[in-house]
Every structure is written in C-alpha cells, then in structure tokens.
Amino acid sequence: MNDSEMQYTPNKNLIWLLLRPWILFPRVIYILLTILFFVLRLLFQGASKNKKVQKDLSKYLFNVITDLGPCYIKLGQALSTRPDLVRQDWLTELTNLQDNLPPFEHKIALKIVEKELGSSVNILFDEFPNKPIASASLGQVYKAKINNNYYVAVKVQRPNLEFIIKRDVVILKLLANFLAPFLPLNIGVGIGEIIDEFGKALFEEINYEQEAINAQRFAKLFRNNPQVIIPKVEKSLSSKKVITTSWIEGVKLKDRNEIEQNRLIPSSFIRTGVISGLQQLFEHGYFHADPHPGNMFALRGGDEKNGNIAYVDFGMMDSISDFDRLTLIKAIVHLFNNEFLLLAKDFQKLGFLSEDQDLELLVNPLKEVLGDSLGKEVGNFNFKEITDKFSKLMYSYPFRVPSRFALIIRAVVSQEGLALRLDPEFKIVRIAYPYIARKLLTDNSDEIVDILLEVIFDKNGRIQIDKVESLLNILFKDSVDINADLIPVANASLKLFVSEKGSEVRKNLLLSLIKNDKIELKDAEKLFSLLKETFSPVKIAKNAVKKIITPV
C-alpha cells in the first residue's frame, strides 16, 4: 500500500464507493437493518428493570458495535467513557470495546509481522507469545521480550483496515448528511466536515509509522514532567502495520476498585490526567485525541496529590493553532468573570458563530447554560443536562461546530468521562480553573501577559480589584499545598513586574493612579491590601509548618 492510499480524501473516496454499488448498497442495507433491529429490541426491552434482560441487551449492543466494525467501535469507545450518559450495566460491557475485542487469527498476525519487519518473530524476538494480551479496534497487542528480559508491546494491525475504514466513513457521512435535517440538533454545515475529520484521524491512526513519530513528539513535550510517562518506540521493530514500544506495567484507568486494590489513590491520577490534558491544549498545542481508560495507565511512584500516569496508543493525535489556543484561554477567563458577551465574541472568533450574528441575543442564553458551571462539582455537574441545554441553544441560534474542534471535543469529553468514572465526587473545576489562573499569573509570554492585563485593568485603565481577587481565590481557595502555588506565583509576578515585558503593567498601574488630573490611591490601596493578605510571609510560614506537622 503506497502513501496516497493511507490518506483520507473525501471526494475521491466517495467517487470510489459510488462506482462500486455492489459494495455500497449491501453495506448500507446491512447497517440500517442492524440498527433497526437494535432499536426495536431497545423499544421493547429498554425500560425493563430485570437485570438479566439489561445484561443481555448490553451484550447485544456490544455485538452490534463490534460486528459493524472499526468506525462504529470508535464511536462506542467514546460512549464507554460516559457513565453520566450510559447505564452502568451497559457501561461495563461497552468498556470491553477499549481493549477486549475479539482478536483476529494469530497466524495472520505472525504473517503481518514477518512481511512488515522482514523476519519471523522467532528471529526478531527472544520470546513471542502465542496469543495477544489485548485486542482493540485497529490492532492487537502482544507482550514480547527482547534483549534479555526487556519487555515490549508489539501492536499488529488488523488486516484489510484501509478498505473497511474508507468504505464505512463514506457511508457514515452519507447517512449523517441524509439524517441531519431530522435530528433535533443544529450543528450548521459542520456534520459532513466533522465526519471528514474523523475519517482523516482514522487513516492517520492506521499508519503506525506516523504513530511512532507522534509518540516521540509527545514524549519530547513531557520529557521534564516526571508524572507523565511515554513508552519508548523501538524503531527497528516498527513499520506501517507493526509498532513496538517499551512495555508499560501499570493499572488501566478504568476501574476505581482495581486502582484502590493496588493501594493507589484514584483522585491523584485524575489530577495528573486533567492537568496533562490542559497542558496539551493550552501549552503544547498538541494533544492526545483518544484518552480513554484503555489508553492510560496508573503507575506507582507518585504521591497523594499527583499520581504517575502513562499514555499509550498515539495514533489519534491533533494540533491546535496558537490563535485557537489563546482564544480558548480568553473564553475561560471570560467564563471566570461571568462576561457572557465577551464569551459570545470568543465563540464567534473560534467559528462557532457567524460574523453577522447579533451577540447581544446570546448573553442571557449563555448565562442560563453556563452561568452556574463554576460552582458545580464533577459529581453534581450533570453533563447530560448541560448538553441538552446546549443542544437547544444550538438549535435555536446559529451555532455550528467547526470541524477542527471535533477531536478537541472528543478529547475533553473522554477526559471528563474518565474523571467521572474513577471518582464521581472529584471536583474537576478545582483543577481546571486554578490551572488557567496559575498560567495567567506565571506565564510571561506576550500573549498571556495581554490576557492578564485584560483581567487586571478595565477599558479605562482602572484596576479591577474584584477580578484580581477572584483570580487569586480560584487559585488558592482549594489548594492542597498553598505554598506550592503561592511562592511560584509571587516569584513570577515579581519577575514580570520588573522585566521589560512588565512595562505595560507598570504603565497601566501608574495611569490607574491618575484620575481627573489627580492622584487617586484608593484602588492602589485595595490592591496592595489584597496582595499583602495573599502573600503574607506569616501566612506562608504557617502553611509551611502545617505541611511539616501534618502526617501524609
């Protein structure tokens, strides 16, 4: 297979399938009938309170999804991360879609390895098992041994994937475009584009040479972060259909009980996972788009606050532009401050709203949907309620989902689903919001300084004490170790103030003292009082002592 065949080209693929009606029509009929039979069974048995009936129904759903193939398995995997949207008994079965699918024949896997790597497994490896240890949508994984007890994970791709994915993505797009007008959700012109993004990501995912490059790039981004571990790629044992990496020995982030049985703390891994996800989006601009529990492991060696996690499977990765990254940070800041008109403008800049949309009309609807989200915990944050409200908002107003956000949304939804699955009481806002606050207060890049200035000063140059106080409260209110946040923020703020970049801050502070040709110290006094209270040496000393005497 040449490189051109490994690329997703929507129009070319559509023509290819339309010219093969003997492939198109039987497959469409089969998909529609399969879905119809499941819907009919769901109508008759879905409301049953009989556990056996529900268990049989969940198994039937699992079989339907696996039978339909990789494209539908990927959709099912997304559902398997959402305990707030899927019944618990169904969720248990859907979790098997992550890494417990029926494997393909071992003999075929051996032939693929030999063809791709040029030798038999007996020559290439010291030990190679006679069955896979895990089997997923696109490949199956073997735990092999090389170089005297060095264990590696060997992922071998399922046969004929490029044909199956090309066929099914085209059909999925045709069906989605046909059904879109009948769905109670307005996503503008984006549904076909979103499926194209999905198809593009799948084609990239079945190119294991690209996955190896992705893994190495991801590892480089986190090389200075001891909490995030990335397996090492063994280049000499990798190709387009086989990828070999160092073996990760850990507990998959899908079962709270299993994590606790290994004497590990679930919330510590959620914290590391959420923070690493935020870093990917808002610092690196390059992110893992498929962070479901089957692709993440809890490792030993962390502490009660920050657990060590490992990512695997780097086939579905994506980038976010600097413009989108900074606009998203601004949007979160505007959400902090309940500035819904500015939030609507952010949506417009990101392409969720047209340029001619009257944004004033969206202020109250946005406030109704997102206004109280800051105060909610993950356990109480009803994702379905929020998405239902947002669906109505998107149906009533000309919102649309830009295709470039398809994988970002998938990653965020999967990450939140992982947190909900491991610890429904975990307060995700206590990680996400302080992270942004800390970034604003410690990142001295020109772009972040500009955003910080928007928070500190209003359009007339006056100090916005309430917003500065809100920013500090978000950062320190629920901090496990206040000094770990206070000291870096104090150091970064001082460095910024005396640096060349801080000239804008100094200038605005001086201008804020002059009102109507008079020196006005009221705002400055309030700011000084707030900073004195926040960064009090006595407070820092007390917290240091408390940290020392409090047993872990």
Residues involved in catalysis: 290
**Are the CB atoms for 212 and 277 separated by under 8 Å?**
no
Torsion of CA 464, 468, 470, 476, to 10 degrees: -170
Taking the C-alpha atoms of residue 76 and residue 99, their distance in angstroms, rounded to an integer, is 12
301 dihedral zone (left: phi>0; alpha: psi -120 to 50; beta): left
Task: Fill in the DSSP letter of residue 445.
Answer: S
Query: Does residue 12 sit in helix, strand or coil?
Result: helix
Structure tokens given for 275: 């923070």
Strands 286-288 and 317-319: antiparallel
> The dihedral of CA 4, 6, 10, 11: what is its sign?
positive
User: Which residue, chain included where needed, has tokens 């895990």?
Assistant: 134
Residue 50 CA, chain-centre distance (Å), reads: 35
Strands 228-229 and 308-311: parallel
Angle at 353 between CA 343 and CA 443, to 5 degrees: 40
Taking the C-alpha atoms of residue 181 and residue 464, their distance in angstroms, rounded to an integer, is 46
Max Cα distance, the chain (Å)? 86
Residue 341 carries which side chain, given as an amino acid letter? L
CA distances from 54 to 57, 93, 441, 464 (A): 5, 11, 51, 55
**Are the CB atoms for 242 and 208 separated by under 8 Å?**
yes
Angle at 462 between CA 459 and CA 463, to 5 degrees: 115
